[in-house]
Structure formats: structure tokens, C-alpha cells
Structure 1
Amino acid sequence: MAKSTMADAYRALASIATRLHGSDGNVDDTFELVVAAAAELVGTEVSWLSLTDDAGTLLRPAVLHSFRDSSFTDFAIPVTEGLGGRALREKRTVVVEDYPSYIDPANPDSVWEALHAEGVISVMCAPMILRDKLVGALYVATRTPATFGSADIALLGALASQATVAIENRRLYRGLETQNALLEQSLTVHRRLTQASADGVGIAGIAAILGDLLGAAISVDSTLPGVEVVSIGVADGVGATSYPIRAGAEVVGSLTVFGVGRLTPSQRQAVEHGVTVLALESVKLRSQWEIEDRMSADLLGDILDHDQLSTPTPTIARRAARFDVDISEDFRVLVIGAREGTDATPLAASVLRTHSLTGLLYTARAGNLVVALPGSRVAAVNRIVTAVREGLRSDGVEAVFGIGSLGSPRDSYVAAIACFRLALAGRYRSQTLDAVAVSYDELGPLRFLLDAADIEQTERMVLVRLSPLIDHDATHSVQLLPTLRAFILSDGHYERTAAALFIGTTTLKYRLGKTLEKFGIDARDPDVRFELRLAFELLSLIETRITPS
């Protein structure tokens, strides 16, 4: 085959360069053009292109030109062997004009035999080197003896360089495709997780989306009190990797991925963005709780300090409605503390949140937790006592409970404080609750004071408080003692008291005013009402134990 002119060579090289410039990463056609041009421009019958595998360890024929036997593509040799290996070692184009007699220990016999069968006599190999690594080799060969000059060597080297550029373009294009795919996946991950957080699906909802994005079983464990472990999918027990969920320097939880040995780039992005969104969700949740705790504490403090004998202010009623609490209901108040004198308030409050005990109000007073339950939720008392007792016990703290009456928040609080002090002092255990507790309802008329055979001391306490009223009623037509008793037993409600006595509220208020004016007994004071209630209950019990003389 006659060699082309230099002008032909320039045109061929320019054509290949133009194709490379407009390549979209599919370079197979370019390789075909380079191999055909090599045979034509150098003037050989045979030409071929070999490329290394992805690991860069084996060299395998990829494009053949004018071969009689296409099975030559089945050969794969180490990059250090054959003419390609020699070209790599010497960093130059290798020329062998008499291949049948060519002897090189690094040249595999199988390759020599295949080329000999093709009738190859003279062969030239130009290495394709990229960043000091062999990525391929371009060969031309004749079936008759031939001599290759410097121009042939330069031309084959130029064509090999263009084939190397094609390989680099393919690598760059594939890298760009991968980056674009990762970017699109990252945007998808970002959109789904961010939207989920904005929609308020919570940690569990975000975990569900993250499990779907990863295509794996996961679990999310939070350090926040009240947040249970969220598990998505079924862990098969094969491999587990945990990633910390950090909010700044603070670890607020962990994400565990099951059954995935090595994360793909898209999975790694999902994990990185997932732990960030989970951290933000944790911070948001904790801030929300802090605000709710502060609002609940402020509200209950205002309620306890509010004069319950008058109508609650609209502001307090609206604030209570935000917690799904009707301020017009009766309440039962619990005072929760610790025998050791430690401040158990934070721990007890976290227990309430852990057990999702909602629809109640709580605040801290004197190192104790004060919990107010509306009458419609008083069945939760047992659940609260059990949960807090176990929660504090796990931290080595013994909880003490005082459980107030069912009535106005202030009255119930006064009773709860008295019961708490009794429990704290005497280690009384509730009759119905497995806890160190005193319940107002279980006390009745302070039976623990009346267990003794002699009730003289109790009688003196009752008479000191009530005898002035008894003496007054003995000489006056207006009976103050029954009026005061009915008012106390109705928890200070004017309308109920008046209805029970068959008098008007004006008359009732007049009589109560007399008790304040004459005897200094202010029945509007919750502390006074609590004391009088106990006195009246003791009086009832004393009366039942008095036998006619």
C-alpha cells in the first residue's frame, strides 16, 4: 500500500481533531477513524488499537483493521508484556521490521503465533500514555518486509496521541455525566428531605424518606427525651454503620444504616444531607418543647395565683385553649419531688414527654414539679405516677407524690402540697398506687390521725377552728356554720352553694362577709378553705363517734 503525502496526513489529523473537539463522549467512531487512518497514512495492510481495562492492568485489542481472523480481540495480556509493554517501558514508538524472528521474553508466544498467522512481517507500536500510565497502544503492520522512517514514526505517534485524547475526552465526559447525575440526585435528596421538614412530618417522616432514598433499612436514635427510636425497614443483621447526628458540636442522635457495606456516591449524599436535616429537626423540636414548657409553666403559674372565685380572664382561657385545656373544668394537681431533696423537675418533665402525656399543664415550684390535670383527664394520674416513679428510679432517685383534690387548681394545689409534705415526712404509701404518695381522696377525714383510741387532740383542733361559729349559731337566727360548710364542700362556687342552701347568691355573699367580719375567716382564700374542709370532715367523723350519754 502506498504511503500518503504529508498533505494527506495533515488533513487526516485535522479531521480527527475536529471530531475529537465535537465528541460527546462516544469515541468508538473516532477509534475506528484513527486505526483506518494509521494504515492508510503509514501505508500498511494491517492496523489495530488495543486499550487497557478499567483496572489498567490488562491490554486487549479493541479495534481491528484488515485482520483475517477477528478472534485476535480475545487476547488480553498484562500491560507490561508484548510490544505495548516495551513501548511503555521505553516511552517511545517501537519498530520491529522482522517480527517472525523477533525474540523478547516479555512477548507472549500466543500473541506472536497469532500475528504470525496473520502474516505480519514488519510492525510498529506507538504507546498511548496518560499521566504516566499506559491506556492503550496503536499498531500498524505489513505482510511484506518494510522499513519505517522517522516521518512514519512521528505520524503514528501523532495518531496515538489523538487516540489518547479521545480516551481522556471519554473519561472527562463520563465524569461530567456522573457529576451531573450526582448533582441531580443531590437536588432530589435535598428537595425531598427539605420539603419533608417544611411539611412538619417530624423525625419519623424524615427517616421514612431517608430509608427510601438509601434503599436500605435504617434506624434513627435521638438523645432528646421523649423521642423514641425510629426504625425503617427490616434489618437483616448483615453489617451496620452508624453516623452521628450533630447540631454544632453537640451530638443529638445517630443514624444507623443496615446491610450496606460501602455507600455509593448518591447514598453518601443522602446520608450527609439526611443527618443535617435530622439535626435541624431535633433542634427545632427541642426549641418547640422549650417554648411550650415555658408557656405551660407561665400559664399554670398564673392559674395557681389567680383568684378562682371570680371568672378566669379571657386571656388565661385563650392561653389554656392552646394546650387543649378548658380552664372552667375542675382540676387535680400533683406535686412531684424526690426524697433526697434533689431537684427532680427536669427529669420528671422529660418523663412526661417521653410517655406523650399531653393535655396537662406543669411548672416548677420550690424544686418540685407541679402537674395540673383537667377533670376530663384525671384517669391519667395512675399513668403519670407509674411513669415518673420508674423514670426517676432508673436514675437512682425515689419519687414522692402529693395528689390533691378534684376542684379549682388553687384548692387542689394547696391540698397536693399538704399531701406531698405528709408523704415526704412519713413515707406513706398510697393505697392504690405503688408509690411513696399521699392522695387527698384516700385520706378522707385524716383517718391516720384518728387511729388512736383517744381523739381528744383532734377534737380540740376542730373546736378551736369551728367553736366560734358554733357559739354564734346557737344565739343567732342567721346560721353561719352550715353556710360556710356548704360553701367549702362546693369548692367555693357561689351558684352551687346558693342552690344547695336554697338562697340567693347575694344572701350567700352577705353571710360569708359576716364570717370574715366577725371571725376573720376569709373563705375566698384557698389555704383557709383547705383547712376548713379538713376541719369539717373531722367534725363529721367526730360526730359519728359520739354516743349519747
Structure 2
Amino acid sequence: MPSDDHSVREALFRLFELLATEAPPERFEEVIRTALPDPADTASAALLDRARGLALDIHSLFARRHQREAGLAALVDTARELTLPYELDVLLKVITRRARLLLNLDMSWISFHDPAEDCSYVRAADGHASAITVGFRIPGTGGLGNRSRSQSIPFWSPDYLDDDGFPHSGAIDDVVRAEGLRALMSVPLHDGDHVFGALYVADRKVRHFAPDEITQMSSLGDLVSVAIKKARLLAQARDEISELELDSSRAMDFFSAARHLRETQSRLIDLVLRGRDLHELTTAAAGALDGTLLVRDVAGRDLAATGVVTALDEDELLKTVLDAHTERAPIRSAEGLWCCPAAAGDEILATLVFEPREAATDITAQLLRIVAQAVAVQLQVQRSAAAAEGHMRDQLFHELLSSSRYTPEQLAQRARRLAVDLTEPHVAVVARPEGGAQGKAVVWASSYAYRLSGLKTTDGGCIVLLLPGTDPGAAARAVSSELSSVLGHPVTAGAAGPITSAVTIVQTYQEARRCLDALTALGGDGATASPQELGFLGMLLSEQPDTVAFIAFTIGPVLDYDTQQCTELVRTLEAYFAAGSSPTRAAESLHVHPNTVSRRLERITDLLGAGWQEPVRALEVQLALRLHRARHTLRKGSAAPPHAEAPAT
């Protein structure tokens, strides 16, 4: 073989070796130059030039294949990264970064289309300088993105601002110019047949995108579309899970509250059924409510309390109570107190006043309703117990007030079995309602007598009560006040007593009845009175006048002072009234100086009070003086004054 052929063959093998070792193209030129020592050999030169061209083509093919493989590998890595459960905003940041690095570009961003405003807005961007930022609004006409969205295919330009192959938008051109971008590609993002956005990549130099690069970006757009859809579904699922968890939490709270309400109601009703009193029921209810609980009757009196209500303003509380009674529901006052009526049907039996220890919860009102219901049941049970026992009590009181075949001892024994001890002081009260329902008054009287361990009956439209106590006047006032508030009408009441034996019950009742008749005769409807309060009129009304008690009640302090100090105040009183209430004339009859009489009268005022010279009191004082002198005369058998002469004071 000629030496030239040998050189050509060696050069060809050398080109094969360079291709096999993936040497750079510059090495190919060096092989050709060294293989042609004779430039005149055109045949060898043409052969080597053809071999070099083929080698360069093969090298370029290998380079493109390697680039494609690298792009596919990067695309696979991107797909793998997009499968992670990102939040949408984080996912978009990952996508823009991966898209920019995939083709080694300067910038990338993602926009979502807003059909309502016919525009798109940037949701994420990477590699931006200042213009294309998150929130930038892209007009609905012009630009690559709108064209790729309308045609649903990738669209690119090697030099955007100088490309007239598509309609431009001034706003888009301004931001592209501000960012210094040249080459730009837009890939549509699909959700089925719907295009919801676009993925953009851009470079700050002129660049012709190869078909492989366009294919890679199109494949990336498909992956991004799936990833965004998955992220949205994941976010929706998370929202639904959060909502379900919230609903579950609410349901658990509801069931817990319902269980607490049910257990509280069961516990309170159980206390009522076991015969516990109202105080124990109120204490248990206050523990369930976590605060201070007060139970008041319709007249505003406390029936039970678990402590002191610190924020109690009676005027404000009255308004809240009226609102609660009107609404038949728990009402919260401005001071933070809760008021709730305890009702049985249309009748309000009591009012609950509750002061929470801490801020009231959503179930406070429901708990108050349950407690109010339990309190109403308790009061109804008490009323029923009183009614069940009332027949026997009424029968006993009827026999005490009439001729009975039983002895007083037997009646007293029957009374003790009904928790009424007739050996203890009792007073009789006869009350006449001046209006209102008679049946309601009788029901109230039964409950009132049962509550105070007394007896009741009715007589000619009047309520007759036998109650424990020693002050008939106070008992009459209490009965009149409470019954008036229940009926809404005035109640006139007469009272007498006290008594400590069943034998004197009839007489005491008759005295109380005469006091009531006296009030009626005097026009005192709605008033109360006892023989002691009626003065001498009460003594006259009494079947067995107690003159000793009348004298002691009227001038007892003066008598005691004379006895203890050996003075003549009683004699001075007699002389004063005999002289027509003239101190000077009284001094003449007593043979003392008028100043002495004045000092004695001042002492009498200190003992009897400032109103003893008023006409009514003066009449009672004169009657007491005459009764005192008469008793003394009868006892001593002489008309001598009841007091020995003593030095003037």
C-alpha cells in the first residue's frame, strides 16, 4: 500500500478512536492536518474531509443523545420530586426552580387564569429581577401565554420583543423589557380539556429552542399539571379532613355536654325522689353550675342559697327577673347574674339567681333550665306532700275549733304525730283576701302552714291559721304580706294569742276573728291587727280581757320606775290628766312647784315615748291608770292611792 494510502487509513482509524473516546471536535481537525503531507493529493483530501464531516455528525449525534438523556434524567428527577406531598405554594416554587434549571435558563414563572376577570396572575416565579413577581396580572390578550392557552400547545420565540409572529401586549412587553428577557417559551397547564394556567421559561439572550427542549418542557408541563391537580386535591382533602375533625370535635363536645346535662338532670331528680330538701338540691345544682346559686320565691324571699351573691343589685335584679318570667327562659343581667324561672305549667313557683364563678359557657343556660326544672319538681313535691297531709291537718284543726269527742290530750297527741306541738306557744291568724282566687289562697295556706309546722282551715271565705310563735301581730303581718303578693290583692288579717294549750284555741280564734271584724268596722281593709295592737279596743273585744297585760303594756315602765326609784310619776300622771293636761294646775293639786311637774313629765316621756300625749295614746294611758287604781282599790279594800307619799322629785 502506498505511503499516502497508509496515512489516510491511519487518519481514518484515528478518527474512529477519537469518536470512541468522545474527544472534542478540535481533535478531529488536528488529525486531518497531520494526515495530508501532500496538499496536491485531492482525492485523499476529499476522502478525509468527508470522514471528518461524518465524524462531526456522529459526534453531534452523540452530544444530542447525551443531552436528551440528561434532560430525561432531569425530567425523571423532577417528576420524582413533584410526587412529594407539597403545599400548593411550595410546589409552585419547586416547579419554577426545576423548570429554570432543566434547560439552564435565566427565569421561569407560573400563571393561573382567572375567567372572572379575563386575565392571568403570576403565582410563583424563580430567577426574576423586579418586574415579574408574584401577583403580577397578565392581560387576557396578547403574549405567548394567551396564545399557548388558546391553542393548548407550547409556543416559543427566540427573541420575544423582535418577534412579530404573534400579537403583543404593551403591559407584557414592558415587563419583558424590564426583566431584560429575549428568548421565551410558554407551556399550557391542563386539567382534562380545561387549560387553567401556563408555565413560562425565559432566557436573557437570543436562543432557538431545539425540538427536544420543547418536548421536555411539554412533558414537564404535563407533569406540573398533574402535580398541581394532586396538590389541589390534597389541599381540598386536608380542608375536608380539618372540617371533619372540627365537626368531630364539635360532636364530641356536644355529646360530652349532653351527657353532662343528662347526668346532672338524673342526679338532681334522684335527690328529689330520695326526699332530700331544697337546700341539698341547691347545693348539688350549684356544684354542677360552678357558682353561687340562690332560690327565691315569688315574693322575693330566699328559700335556699349556697353562698352570698356578691354582684346582687336588687333593682337591676328585679328587671332581669321580670324579663326571665316574661320569656320563660334564662336571662343574663348586666352584672353577669343569671335569672331563670322555676315554673310548673303556667305557674311560676320560684326564681333561680346564679352567679358563675368563671365565664359562663354555652351550656350554662341549658343547665339552668334543668336546675329550674328540678327545683320546680321539688317545690311541687313539697306542695303535694302538704296536700296529702293537709286533709288530716284540716280535720284536726276543725276538731280543735269545734266540739270534739276527743279529749284535749288526745287532740294534742294527734297534733304531735303531725309535727305540731300544741304545748309550745302558738298564735291564731284569721286572714280575709280582698280579691283574687279563693282556691289559690287555700293552696297557698296549705303550703304555708305545712312549711311552718302549723294548721290551717277555712271559714266563711277566710283563711284560719294556727302558727308557732308568741307575737300575733308579727304573724298577721307576715301572712298578709305573703298572701297579698301571691294573689295580687290586699289581705286583711286579725291575730290573737299566744296559747300553750288546746283548751284555749277556740277562745284565741274568736279573739282573732273579733280583731278582723274590728278592722272591717274601722275601714281597715288590707291592714293587720292583734288585741295588743288595738289597745283598749282589743281588750274590749277579748272574751277574757287581760287587764294586767293591758296595764303593763300601756304604763308598765312608769309603774316599774316608781317601784324602783320611789317616785310619784303615776300620781303626777293622774293629777296631770285631772287638771286637763295643765302642768301648772297639776302642780297646785300636788302642792309642788310647776318645774317639778315639768321634770316628772319629761321623765314620763322618756319612759313611754314621745307620743304618749297624743289623743289615742292619752286615752289608753288614762284607762290604764283607772284600771290600775281600781285593781289596787279592790286588792287593798281602801281608796288610798296605790303609792305612798314620797318626796318630790
Report which of the two has the higher share of helix. 2
Higher Cα Rg, which structure:
2
TM-score, length of structure 2 as denominator length? 0.43
* TM-score, normalised with respect to structure 1: 0.49
Q: Which has the higher contact order (CA 8 A, sep 6+)?
A: 1
